[in-house]
Structure 1
Amino acid sequence: MTALGHTLPFYAGPKPTFPMDTTLAVIITIFLMALVTFIVILPGIRGKMRLFWLLRVVTSLFIGAVILAVNFSSEWSVGRVSTNTSYKAFSSEWISVDVGLQIGLGGVNITLTGTPVQQLNETINYNEEFTWHLGENYAKEYAKALEKGLPDPVLYLAEKFTPSSPCGLHRQYRLAGHYTSATLWVAFLCWLLTNVMLSMPVLVYGGHMLLATGIFQLLALLFYSMVTSLTPPCPLCPGTATLHTHHGPAFWITLTTGLLCVMLGLVMAVAYRMQPHRLKAFFNQSAGEDPVLGLSPEEGGLLTPRYRSIPESPKTPDIPLSEDSSEACCEEEHTKELDCVL
């Protein structure tokens, strides 16, 4: 290696750069396919219920996709800084780079991009992930990174999250990720129950489960904020600058979706109390014409049979009897009267 002019240690393998997490890509693809499938069959829904179906399906798919995506996202806490730092160990050469840190529920992701990318006759563009969920050993992953010879800024930030680091970030963020992920899975289960109940004539319970979905999302944010603030912040100085972290997109989109679920759940509860017919018509559970929405069964409502009430039923017409029939009836009645007198 020395004969080839490399400085020890060096990064022997290819530098992986992933523009997007594959798990998030799979989740988004599945929900987009479900949305496209619904849009294909949407013209088959007649009348004004087409718009109501579109609003319900899009909102439901958005909530479910967000709950799953943020559970696997690595952008709950993010930070980025431009700095000048050493590139490799045992080398006095410095480079100008952008260092990024993304902390998720199951690990950390560290990016290193040169400014410019080509420096020291190398392409400086790294994206490394270190995980601690599902029984993964973070210390072993850090040891493998040392064996690879990753650049100094990547190893410096990865070392801050090791279990033996005095910063205590490993225990802090691992606990936060564990409880937040568990709460989000409960929220996802509530979302599934919401869809089941809203497809049945139990709209009030569907609204309650939607409200529970939002509450569990907000509880997940509460757990994450509380656990991550238990220990004092640890200074992260990769080079000449200090890297500061803040809540990332996953945190804020979870907050937005949780508030949306709570608001929709409360609206459904109030509508069920005050305007139950309108709520049933919106969810395609109204048999007759709705006075507010002006919907008839032919415009998308359930085509249930309408039975005619007794006052509306036509009276049986009186059929006139012939003269012979009337005389026979009179004689029969006169005979019955004589029998009664005797």
Structure 2
Amino acid sequence: MAALGHTFPFYTDPKPTFPMDTALAVIITIFLTALVTFFIILPGIRGKTRLFWLLRVVTSLFIGAVILAVNFSSEWSVGQVSTNTTYKAFSPEWVSVDVGLQIGLGGVNITLTGTPVQQLNETINYNEEFKWHLGEDYAEEYAKALEKGLPDPVLYLAEKFTPRSPCGLYNQYRLAGHYASAMLWVAFLCWLLTNVMLSMPVLVYGGHMLLATGIFQLLALFFFSMATSLTTPCPVRFGTAVLRTHHGPAFWITLTTGLLCMLLGLVMAVAHRMQPHRVKTFFNQSAEDPVLEWSPEEGGLLSPRYRSMAESLEPQDIPLSVASYDACFKEEHSKELDCAL
């Protein structure tokens, strides 16, 4: 540093950042591609069935995209503050900045933007991510940030989430993210099963799986809220300003989608009991499809009960071959002769 003539730590130019998280971009691209493909084949569907298909496909893709997107989102808990604070270590110069914090299920994202961006002959525009899931070591990433020489506000905020910090935010949010992410993956599997069952003549079970999809999303919110509320909030001060966090867009959109899934699942269950023919029409299934009758005495759902000949409403004529007819005729004729003798 001294050889280069710099008194204070040297900060490289901020790395270029993508406008949004790459994982979210991939998820949105996949589901949009599926939606566009459906719109291409939509004109080939005739009548009212076209509207039914549109509602079903759009709703299903929306639910699946939300479940995957919020699992990788970093906006479950967010906070932002505008303040005047120091920028470099061992420097008395202050800058006017906006400090943002986004907490996700797998890590935190810290943003630092100058107001204005150009201050102290530098561009103050940082977006740094620190992860703690999938084998990532948060302490190691924080050590690399120290070696890189990130600005003081970023390092100060990242230090609050280290495992050795007295705030205890690391264990708090890491456990919350672990259980919430597990519930969301189960919800995604239930969503897949829902689509499979709704394409088969087992619509009532598809409604049950849709209801389970909403329940697991609400369980993810429950675990995240419970884990984050067990400890007292740790004050994060930047000069005279205090950074406070609140539930972010990912939390509220998960809540909305979970309630929507539960509502649709209950509606399907009630409609299947009250108007089963209309439900089959909505899902483009014939109302005259044969249905097996299940008998609890014969094994429940594992053993189908078939109607016997006596229970059949219509008489059934069983054709006989010529040889069988002749044999029966001779047998009856011999019985009549025996009786006559």
The alignment's TM-score, normalised by the length of structure 1, stands at: 0.83
Structure 1 CA distance, aligned partners of 2:97 and 2:65?
34
* CA drift at 1:202: 0.2
* CA drift at 1:122: 0.2
- 1:189-268 alignment to 2 at 5 Å? 189-268=189-268
Structure 2 CA distance, aligned partners of 1:147 and 1:234?
26
Please name the residue that 1:143 is paired with. 143
Q: Contact 2:27 / 2:65 at 8 angstroms: preserved in 1?
A: yes
Structure 2 CA distance, aligned partners of 1:50 and 1:242?
54
2:285 is the alignment partner of 1:285: yes
Structure 1 CA distance, aligned partners of 2:18 and 2:112?
12
Q: Contact 2:277 / 2:287 at 8 angstroms: preserved in 1?
A: no
Percent same amino acid at aligned positions?
Answer: 87
Instruction: Supply the AA of the counterpart residue of 1:164.
Output: R
* CA drift at 1:150: 0.4
Instruction: Supply the AA of the counterpart residue of 2:88.
Output: K
* CA drift at 1:19: 2.0
The 1:22/1:78 distance shift into structure 2, 3 A limit, reads same
- 1:25-44 alignment to 2 at 5 Å? 25-44=25-44
Moved over 4 A (4+): none
1:40-71 residue CA offsets vs partner (Å, 9 max, x unmatched): 00000011100000000000000000000000
* CA drift at 1:2: 3.4
2:60 is the alignment partner of 1:57: no
Structure 1 CA distance, aligned partners of 2:241 and 2:16?
25
Structure 2 CA distance, aligned partners of 1:7 and 1:183?
51
The 1:108/1:7 distance shift into structure 2, 3 A limit, reads farther
* CA drift at 1:3: 5.2
Q: Secondary structure at the match of 1:24?
A: helix
Please name the residue that 1:75 is paired with. 75
The 1:146/1:63 distance shift into structure 2, 3 A limit, reads same
Q: Contact 1:153 / 1:239 at 8 angstroms: preserved in 2?
A: no
Instruction: Supply the AA of the counterpart residue of 1:103.
Output: I
Please name the residue that 2:185 is paired with. 185
* CA drift at 1:134: 0.5
Q: Contact 2:157 / 2:236 at 8 angstroms: preserved in 1?
A: yes
Higher relative contact order (CA 8 A, sep 6+): 1
Instruction: Supply the AA of the counterpart residue of 2:110.
Output: I
Instruction: Supply the AA of the counterpart residue of 1:15.
Output: K
Q: Secondary structure at the match of 2:237?
A: coil
- 1:82-101 alignment to 2 at 5 Å? 82-101=82-101
Instruction: Supply the AA of the counterpart residue of 2:57.
Output: V
Q: Secondary structure at the match of 1:185?
A: helix
The 1:110/1:23 distance shift into structure 2, 3 A limit, reads same
Q: Contact 1:15 / 1:125 at 8 angstroms: preserved in 2?
A: no
Structure 2 CA distance, aligned partners of 1:154 and 1:16?
17
Instruction: Supply the AA of the counterpart residue of 2:63.
Output: I
Structure 2 CA distance, aligned partners of 1:218 and 1:238?
35
Q: Contact 1:82 / 1:241 at 8 angstroms: preserved in 2?
A: yes
Q: What runs of 5+ residues in structure 2 fail to find an aligned partner?
A: 289-313, 315-341
Instruction: Supply the AA of the counterpart residue of 2:83.
Output: T
Structure 2 CA distance, aligned partners of 1:146 and 1:14?
15
Please name the residue that 2:23 is paired with. 23
Provide the aligned length of Structure 1 versus Structure 2: 290
* CA drift at 1:7: 4.0
Please name the residue that 1:159 is paired with. 159
RMSD after superposition: 1.4
Structure 1 CA distance, aligned partners of 2:138 and 2:275?
55
1:58-105 residue CA offsets vs partner (Å, 9 max, x unmatched): 000000000000000000000000000000101001000000000000
Q: Secondary structure at the match of 2:135?
A: coil
Q: What runs of 5+ residues in structure 1 fail to find an aligned partner?
A: 289-309, 311-342
Q: Secondary structure at the match of 1:35?
A: helix
Q: Contact 1:10 / 1:148 at 8 angstroms: preserved in 2?
A: no
Q: Contact 2:14 / 2:125 at 8 angstroms: preserved in 1?
A: no
Instruction: Supply the AA of the counterpart residue of 1:232.
Output: T
Structure 1 CA distance, aligned partners of 2:67 and 2:5?
50
